[in-house]
Structure 1
Amino acid sequence: MTTEIVLPSLSAGMEDAVIAKWLVQPGDQVAPGQVLAEVETDKATMELEAAEAGIVGRLNVTAGQRADVGAVLALLLAEGEALPEAAPPAPAASTDRAPAPAPGASAAADRPGERRHPASPLARRMAAQAGLNLAGTHGSGPKGRIVKIDVERLLAASPAVGPAPVAPASGQDSPAGIGAHEVMPVSTMRRTIARRLVEAKQRIPHFYLSADCEIDALLALRAQLNEGRAASARISVNDLIVKAAALALRAVPAANVIWNGEEILQLRDVDISVAVATEGGLMTPILRGADRMSLGTLSEGMRALAARARAGRLKPEEYQGGGFSVSNLGMYGVKSFCAIINPPQSCILAVGAAERRPVGRGEQIVLAEVMSLTLSVDHRSVDGALGAELLAAIKAGIERPLGLLL
């Protein structure tokens, strides 16, 4: 019996993905659990496994090509089974941006009063932007669902009069008067980041709390901890800040919460998301149980997560969830900033650069290494006094760092 290998939803909100690499070829015998392909989603590169044994009969999507969730990627055949009739050849890989409208295309898809055709969200958006009518189109997805490849075929078959203009990534005209420019396609990751940040700023009532921390003692402790350590295993200032935030959340558990509509979720574990800059955008891998980790374990875990994030190899459980975030731009010389809360979390700590500043010590003015912290807080779940208590606990942990070793 022929088995269809379909693209599953590998993470929350996933609509499509790129088949980065096939690890099998037609004619190969595969076993249950064997990895068939590497799939690039908006967050990471994941492995697609076979659910049962069989012989690879056909690969419907070439490496580097994008496919919608639910699309049939390949066929598995039973021993001695003949290959079904081949489907029409798929077009070459496309960019993340929907194609520009094709001159001569029919009316826009799904006008009011017309029957709504089964189509993926991405295919529907592409058709609407291109002015295509999906009436009468039988998709290549499961149960005739129209997917991206089907819309691309319709566009390729549409008569064109002269060269079509290159549309900007948004599908709208470029702003007037901006001069010469290059249109950059928006990646799946960047599109997802943009959507989540807009939602966060629109829906979450942010307020901000700031504090300055003297970190001379923390820097001295770090120097002691790193004596004799290999460069690749040294404790970073960021490791110490993350540990201070984790212990502060343990001490102020009422701030370790998530707003969930009509209820507030009190988290039992202290799971810290740490912002990591990658080529495709910002990722927030999670250190789970960070308050229980030794500094060495925390530092090693953070290095491993950051490396997998930059390589696009994070697993969903390594970036989905978390109760609190830390974002550090101090290494770029940023003195202070206000970070956007990472939903559904309630707080994010923005860490600025340390610099020598005059501070008061009794009747004297002395120079000290001072670092600015800004805590962004969701006022629905954490009020001002509670947020201030949490920030004070973080500041205390940073300024009295020996407590981070307990």
Structure 2
Amino acid sequence: MAAVRILRICFNKFNFSRTIYTKSSCCSPIQIQMPALSPTMEEGTITKWLISEGDAVEIGDAMCEVETDKAVVTMEANEDGTLAKILIPDGTRGVKINSPIAILAEEGEDLLEASKFDPPPISFHPPTSSVEEVVTETSQIHATNTPNILELGKMGDKISPAVRQMLNQFNIEVTNIHGTGPKGIRLKGDVIKYIAQKGLNPVHQHVSTPTKQVTTPPTKATEVKKDSVATKPPVQVHEGDYEDLDLSSVRKVIAKRLTESKQTIPHAYSTIDCSINKVLDLRRQLAKDGVKVSLNDFIIKCVASTLRRVPEVNVVWRGHETKHSDTIDISIAVATDGGLITPIITGADRKGLSAISEEIRELASKARSGKLQPHEYQGGSFTISNLGMFGVKEFTAVINPPQSCIMAVGGTRVRPASSPVDLDDDVISDVTESATDSVMTVTMSSDARVVDDELASKFLSTFKQNMENPLYMGLL
């Protein structure tokens, strides 16, 4: 394609006339392919085309909205031209990356001819049926008389899988069989001969095909009197009405990543209570001065300041090693109709409360409307998930890899105020009955491979200090 375009430029420069999309032409129109809009994206959904066939586009123009495994992203044009044909209509799910989704004609090219271009389909190799492999392997085992030797261990007896199956089927002790094979190996013929001599019947009959039913006559040892067993009618289970719901790409990836996180990351949990009286007082004072910030904004700023003082926690796990993040980028969990997404406050330690508040409102709005750009949710070194506004007292959250920590923030509750000496110490304090304290519980989930219990305790202790003394957030 690059060589063809260079030739086209040369032809235009020297005023050569050209006719393309004919049988003798070697040129082909531009194929717009499904791009990989996130590092983990494998397929996407064309939610909406923003232009129609015949519309002219320039580099950077919005063409369509694509639902990735993270969010709904606007796909921009990388070439100038005219949209000749839409190959993938609105609402199409499961479009693999690099699959053609539209045809773009360059300036001056015949739209009708371009729309007739049929791109080659993306080929794939279907997986081999596991049932066929099992059947083939089983047939090979039973068709051969050469035993596949297995060690039994206790007595050093060596038998093949086929022989072992027959011994189990007829409930025969291996020591009762005299082996005629090399070095006394017990062959299938030895077992068959022993069964014929003793006139044995199988105890467990394995039916290999569903169309053939084998009735096993009971032996004297296994015969049960029919009169002693009460015949019970079969239990009928009636399934209730239900509806199958299609999972969005975001939901599928969330399920996959959370499962991998819990299975591969050793989660460790640490919980601490923080008094937020001074934060609430400062928030009320700022509101009187016309500065509106939320408690969540204070938490973000406090976490950023704590990461600056305890940088050992600001790390990510990269397979077999840890990587320290040079910047403090805080991911904030935001619930959307499509699932949970984590937009990022970059450089949170360098921003003030007003800047954090304004940025988080903008990012949350874009997240709920599906307008986040990839750079706004990819990355991050620490995540905060706050369910306090829903009345949740405390909870634990799942780590978002490759990050090492996530903080779960619970709701605010009131308890009797503590003295300068912590209530955890066995010291009786002079506290009036009317004095109360607003307390918030936070639980940090940490990757034990990177953040051990001592480091987690140090981080939470520093967070508590910053939260209970808001001036520390900007001074230390």
Aligned to 1:207: 268
* Superposition deviation, residue 42 in structure 1: 2.5
- Higher gyration radius (CA): 2
d(CA) in 1 for partners of 2:84, 2:350: 50
d(CA) in 2 for partners of 1:381, 1:199: 17
- Residue 76 (structure 1) aligned with residue 94 (structure 2): no
Matched-pair contact (CA < 8 Å) for 1:19–1:61? yes
Aligned to 1:136: none
Aligned to 1:349: 407
Q: Structure 2, unaligned stretches of length 5 or more? A: 1-27, 133-236, 422-428
Q: Percent identity?
A: 44
Deviations 1:319-345 (A, max 9, x none): 111000111111111111111111111
Q: Equivalent residues in 2 for 1:5-404 (5 A)?
A: 5-66=32-93, 67-78=95-106, 79-81=108-110, 82-83=113-114, 85=116, 109-111=127-129, 179-229=240-290, 234-361=292-419, 363-365=429-431, 366-404=435-473
d(CA) in 2 for partners of 1:328, 1:21: 32
Indicate the structure with greater strand content. Answer: 1
d(CA) in 1 for partners of 2:238, 2:345: 47
How many residue pairs were aligned? Answer: 324
Q: Secondary structure at the match of 2:370?
A: coil
* Superposition deviation, residue 178 in structure 1: 6.6
Return closer, same or farther for 1:325/1:80 CA change in 2, 3 Å cut-off.
Answer: closer
Q: Which moved more, 1:396-405 or 1:262-271?
A: 396-405
Higher relative contact order (CA 8 A, sep 6+): 1
* Superposition deviation, residue 57 in structure 1: 1.3
Matched-pair contact (CA < 8 Å) for 1:24–1:36? yes
Amino acid at match of 1:31: E
Return closer, same or farther for 1:269/1:112 CA change in 2, 3 Å cut-off.
Answer: same
Matched-pair contact (CA < 8 Å) for 1:213–1:395? yes
d(CA) in 2 for partners of 1:209, 1:113: 48
Deviations 1:81-130 (A, max 9, x none): 32353659x9xxxxxxxxxxxxxxxxx8533699xxxxxxxxxxxxxxxx
Matched-pair contact (CA < 8 Å) for 1:336–1:372? yes
Aligned to 1:124: none
Deviations 1:165-189 (A, max 9, x none): xxxxxxxxxxx77743332222211
Aligned to 1:146: none
d(CA) in 2 for partners of 1:293, 1:86: 53
Q: Secondary structure at the match of 2:297?
A: helix
Moved over 6 A (4+): none
Matched-pair contact (CA < 8 Å) for 2:418–2:437? no
Q: Structure 1, unaligned stretches of length 5 or more? A: 91-107, 115-175
Let me know the Cα RMSD of the aligned residues. Answer: 2.2
Amino acid at match of 1:384: D
Q: Secondary structure at the match of 1:369?
A: strand
Q: Which moved more, 1:261-270 or 1:178-187?
A: 178-187
Q: Which moved more, 1:52-61 or 1:319-328?
A: 52-61
**TM-score, L = length of structure 1:** 0.75
Matched-pair contact (CA < 8 Å) for 1:246–1:290? yes
Q: Secondary structure at the match of 2:418?
A: strand
